Amino acid sequence: MEDALRALVDAVGLDVRYGDEVLADDERWTLDLGSTTDHVWVASTARTEVWLRRGGDVWVVAPGTAAIVAPGVPVTVGTGPDRSPAPTADDAWCSPTGVHLGTASFGPFVDEALGLGALVHTEPPEAPHEDVVLALAHIASLVGGRWRASRRDALARVVVMTVLGDNPPSFLADASLTPCIDRLLDGGDPVPIDELRRGTGMSASTVRRRFRATTGCSPEELRRWFRSLALRAALAADDADPAAVAAHAGFSTTSSMRRSLRRVRAPDVRVPSAL
């Protein structure tokens, strides 16, 4: 699943930035993030419980875990269910809370490809995640100094990818298909069914049936959809030149590109079908 998920994230596009650690002199605080245009990631060290409010929804991020919150609705981060004053810190004595924040900017087809929902978090939700704890510890050690910002961003990406890995799209839910989907998304050329089923112990008809039941697509439809992500993202850009996009993708005309895109069928990313 990791190879397929990484391929999906690369195709969708992901830019992760580290924001900062919340500093607060008081034990109780509430930080208003407002209505953001990017996803926000929130992570806590093994000592601090975080309450997230997005509109009317409330979640608790346990110590040592992380969460990603969808944009578009005002978000607050705090130490409890009730609203407290904004965090303040005396410059002469900084008070780190162990709560770290940042942004995750996805491409335009994140909902179609990943189906994240309003909030996703590491699993199980109450258990500290070793990768999150280690990444935050390393981030905390990179205070000041030249070139540290890029390293913090790289560690923030580890946190975000950890959350995504615990919340894959539902068409990756069937573990028996994982090798097949990994191979399918690995290259641009069609993959023969015998190559897809290599090492799975399943017949060609079983592989096709499981693809249809789990993804809602045939193997070829899933491959065509995956290849369309980068193409449609290029077309969605403000300065897109359809003719140039078509030529770069290997189409002779924009009409042939449009016909190909009309054949694209997206997989089911939210609710896996029964096998």
Residues of the chain with pLDDT below 70 are 1, 91-94, 143-147, 187-188, 270-275
Q: 148 vs 140, 152, 166, 207, CA distance in Å?
A: 11, 6, 28, 47
| Per-residue model confidence (pLDDT) at position 66 | 98
User: Does 183 lie in the same domain as 162?
Assistant: no
| Per-residue model confidence (pLDDT) at position 1 | 63
Which of 168, 193, 215 lies at the terminal end of a domain, its last residue? 168
Contacting residues for 10 by C-beta, under 8 A, at least 6 apart: none
Mark 54-65 as b/e (b = at least 16 C-beta within 10 Å).
beeeebebbbbb
User: Does 254 lie in the same domain as 239?
Assistant: yes
User: Does 204 lie in the same domain as 142?
Assistant: no
What CATH number should be reported for the domain holding residue 46? 2.60.120
Cα distance between residue 13 and residue 40, in whole Å? 15
3-state SS of 29-88 is CEEEEECCCCEEEEEECCCCCEEEEECCEEEEECCCCEEEECCCCCEEEECCCCCCCCCC
User: Does 186 lie in the same domain as 54?
Assistant: no
Which of 100, 133, 168 lies at the terminal end of a domain, its last residue? 168
Rg (CA), the chain: 21
For 98, other C-beta atoms within 10 Å of its C-beta total 17
222 part of a folded domain: yes
Q: Domain range spanning residue 140?
A: 2-168
User: Does 145 lie in the same domain as 64?
Assistant: yes
Contacting residues for 271 by C-beta, under 8 A, at least 6 apart: 170
141 part of a folded domain: yes
User: Does 188 lie in the same domain as 155?
Assistant: no
CA angle 96/157/120 to nearest 5° reads: 85
269 part of a folded domain: no
| Per-residue model confidence (pLDDT) at position 258 | 93
User: Does 152 lie in the same domain as 245?
Assistant: no
75 part of a folded domain: yes
Contact 43, 74 (CB under 8 A): no
Contacting residues for 146 by C-beta, under 8 A, at least 6 apart: none
| Per-residue model confidence (pLDDT) at position 142 | 82
Domain count, the chain: 2
User: Does 29 lie in the same domain as 136?
Assistant: yes
47 part of a folded domain: yes
pLDDT tens, residue by residue, 60-91? 999 999 999 999 999 999 999 999 999 987 76
Which of 117, 148, 168 lies at the terminal end of a domain, its last residue? 168
236 part of a folded domain: yes
273 part of a folded domain: no
User: Does 83 lie in the same domain as 190?
Assistant: no
177 part of a folded domain: yes
User: Does 254 lie in the same domain as 206?
Assistant: yes
Cα distance between residue 253 and residue 265, in whole Å? 21
Cα distance between residue 6 and residue 14, in whole Å? 10
| Per-residue model confidence (pLDDT) at position 243 | 94
User: Does 118 lie in the same domain as 15?
Assistant: yes
User: Does 16 lie in the same domain as 78?
Assistant: yes
